[in-house]
């Protein structure tokens, strides 16, 4: 494999747990609306609302909670009570205050690679929340640059690489989402290492399997990354 000089890391569900927090809140949300609709209807309607609002709110807890409140009002024909809405708001606060929990092997792996490579953190979502999580992660000092983007597509990655003077062929992106972390970088001529997380938000699912021999690597966990880079 090529000697990649720069490594980019996704944050949520690559370095620290995130989707499991949303999954727990989804369960509470279904319980709250159970007397109005079945779980499948709640899930389907909430997801549709989130997709409709992405352009307005972007990614992250705040946009999710606004969509959850909007969906609850729609599904109850406005009958949801103020107390129930307060419950939803408290769930959002709990998500924003949740401790940052690194995935197994992240601290050692990132620390080791920082001694041999230039590392970038490239994530998307709410600026304030992502800055909070990075500050509390204990690994912020290992990254030469941090990019918190509104979207992670081919144009966004091209801008990041250009801004930091990085050639795509010497760049490897590590992440749990093929859609956001791998496919755009492969399209630019870079490389991607996919490290799946056991949960994946519906908006990140793709049917496409990367076809990039020698540039796409499938890992079981992040601990396999140093060996891959040393191969």
Task: Sheet containing 216-218: give its strands across.
Answer: 145-149, 118-124, 6-9, 171-175, 191-194, 216-218
Task: Spell out the residues 6+ positions from residue 58 whose beta carbon is closer than 8 angstroms to its own.
Answer: 124, 125, 126, 150
Cite the residue boundaries of each domain of the chain with CATH code 1.10.150.240. 19-96
Which two tokens mark 60? 């992250």
Task: Spell out the residues 6+ positions from residue 113 whose beta carbon is closer than 8 angstroms to its own.
Answer: 7, 119, 142, 225, 226, 229
Q: Is the pLDDT of residue 28 over 70?
A: yes
- Predicted local confidence at residue 230, as pLDDT: 85
**Per-residue confidence band for 205, with pLDDT thresholds at 50, 70 and 90:** very high
Containing 158, the helix (H) or strand (E) segment is helix 154-163
Q: Is the pLDDT of residue 1 over 70?
A: no
Mean pLDDT for 87-95 is 96
Q: Is the pLDDT of residue 2 over 80?
A: no
Please answer whether residues 68 and 105 qualify as being in contact, where contact means their C-beta atoms are separated by less than 8 angstroms: no
Top CATH class, 19-96: mainly alpha
Cite the residue boundaries of each domain of the chain with CATH code 3.40.50.1000. 6-16+100-229
Q: Is the pLDDT of residue 68 over 90?
A: yes
Q: Is the pLDDT of residue 231 over 70?
A: no
Q: Is the pLDDT of residue 216 over 80?
A: yes
Nearest to 80 by CA among 68, 91, 90: 68
Q: Is the pLDDT of residue 3 over 90?
A: no
Helix, strand, or coil here: 191? strand
Which residues are registered as beta bridge partners of 172?
Answer: 7, 191
- Predicted local confidence at residue 211, as pLDDT: 86
What gap in Å lies between CA 171 and CA 46, rounded to an integer?
37
What CATH number is given for 6-16+100-229 in this structure? 3.40.50.1000
Please answer whether residues 152 and 41 qualify as being in contact, where contact means their C-beta atoms are separated by less than 8 angstroms: no
């Amino acid at each position: 494999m090529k000697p990649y000089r720069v490594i980019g890391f996704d944050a949520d569900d690559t370095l620290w747990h995130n989707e499991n927090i949303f999954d727990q809140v989804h369960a509470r949300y279904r319980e709250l609306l159970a007397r109005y609709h079945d779980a499948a209807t709640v899930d389907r309607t909430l997801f549709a609302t989130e997709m409709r609002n992405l352009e307005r709110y972007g990614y992250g807890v705040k946009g999710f909670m606004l969509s959850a409140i909007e969906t609850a009002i729609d599904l109850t024909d406005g009958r949801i009570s103020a107390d129930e809405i307060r419950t939803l708001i408290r769930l959002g606060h709990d998500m924003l205050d949740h401790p940052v929990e690194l995935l197994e092997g992240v601290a050692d792996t990132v620390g080791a690679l920082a001694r041999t490579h230039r590392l970038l953190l490239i994530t998307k979502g709410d600026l304030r929340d992502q800055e909070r999580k990075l500050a509390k992660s204990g690994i912020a000092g290992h990254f030469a640059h941090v990019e918190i983007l509104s979207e992670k597509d081919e144009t966004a990655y091209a801008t990041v690489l250009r801004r930091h003077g990085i050639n795509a062929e010497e760049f490897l992106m590590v992440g749990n989402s093929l859609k956001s972390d791998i496919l755009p970088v492969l399209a630019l001529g870079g490389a991607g290492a996919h490290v799946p997380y056991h949960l994946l938000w519906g908006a990140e699912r793709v049917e496409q399997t990367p076809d990039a021999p020698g540039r796409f690597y499938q890992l079981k966990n992040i601990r396999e990354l140093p060996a891959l880079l040393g191969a």
